Amino acid sequence: MGLFKKKRVVQFYDKENKKPVIKVSICNGEQVAGFKDIHTGKIEEVMMIKSPTDLEHFKITYGIDEEIVKEY
């Protein structure tokens, strides 16, 4: 039954001033996806990444096609 499908809404971010990153903890390996301001270096955390499915959801939600850099 395909009557009540969830609509995927692509959200936008400032591509000129921010880049997508995954912040990884060196202590426990926790991963958080977000956007890093290229001028200040500040990271805006958006969602926790617990599996490859979460990462794909993040990419689809924000329309990201390229590989995301991991920062430790």
Encoded tokens for 46: 């958006």
Whole-structure pTM value: 0.80
Whether 35 and 46 have beta carbons less than 8 Å apart is answered as yes
The neighbouring-strand residues paired with 45 are: 34
pLDDT tens across the length of the chain (72 residues): 556 666 666 788 888 999 999 999 999 999 999 999 999 999 999 999 999 999 999 999 999 999 999 999
Would you list the domain boundaries of the chain?
18-71
